[in-house]
Amino acid sequence: MISTIIAATDLSDRGDRALRRGFAIARAHKARLIVLSIIDDALPEQIVQDITDEAQKSLGHFVKTLGDDVSCDVRIQSGDPTGDIIACAERENADLLILGTHRDRNFLDLLRETTAQRITRLAHMPVLLAADRDERPYETAVLGADFSPNATAGAELVAELAPGARILPVHAFHVPYRGMLAQSGGADDLLESFSREPIQNDALWRAKADLPDKVAETEIVEGSTATVLRDVARREDAHLIVVGAHGRIGHHRAFLGSVACDLMRNPPCDVLIVRDRTA
């Protein structure tokens, strides 16, 4: 049950998307919404105070425009954005943390993780990256299906978050040396060979996991996982992609999975990052 949601904003247009999505989800689930803005205390004290004063005015006004039918608590404080957002989410036992996308700085993203990636890596609850300007209910969700408990948790959360949504599981696999083998005529046989294992794993996953009724047949596609998920989302006009915080191998919190990182850097729509709830 989704009862407490935190929508964090850096007071930018990107942060507005997190607030709009937070209000939409809170309204649909009659959940409590905490709107949180952390002003970086590394800034000079007077600048922190000026930003805080302005934030109280502008954020309070913006929240009022989103409606008074949601139980909403606005909190503005100075501190460490990463640590304080996570601390608040854990203290409030949040069921969902919503973040806005980061500003465009592609080159730097290759060298260091963004604040949103750092928060997602350290958070224990699901994180929703609100990239879409349209906060309409999710009608179609593309699920990264690696047949792990994370994938199962993702399907379950989407079914709870958007009960009417289609859930399209997609599994991507890589065929090494495909180009070289194509010249020798052996590419088709190799493709069939590499697709056999995910077909078997999909059958085992469905036999063991109690998946929601809205989960469709798994689409198994050759290619890079993040690229395949983006392509399917565009093709299906999906407004949500769901992936695990980690792949099937490795669950160390010091790392965020490469697929989640890739999608967070360049999200084609909202991205929901989940972890197995029983882990």
Tell me the one-letter amino acid at 18.
Answer: A
Residues 202-235: tens digit of each pLDDT: 999 999 999 999 999 999 998 999 999 999 999 9
pLDDT in tens, 52-93: 998 888 888 888 888 889 999 999 999 999 999 999 999 999
Domain with CATH 3.40.50.620 in the chain: 1-132, 137-279
Q: What would the mean pLDDT of 111-127 be, rounded to a whole number?
A: 88
Residues 199 and 34: their CA atoms lie apart, in Å, by: 42
Report the topology of domain 137-279: Rossmann fold (3.40.50)
Decide: helix, strand or coil at residue 102: coil
Residue 107 pLDDT > 60: no
- Inform me whether the pLDDT recorded for 243 exceeds 60: yes
pLDDT tens figures, 2-37 = 999 999 998 877 778 999 999 999 999 999 999 999
Q: What is the mean pLDDT of residues 185-210?
A: 81
Is the domain 1-132 a CATH 3.30.70.270 member? no
Give the tokens for residue 35: 């709107």
What does the alpha-carbon distance between residue 276 and residue 279 come to, in Å, rounded to a whole number?
5
Contact 229, 264 (CB under 8 A): no
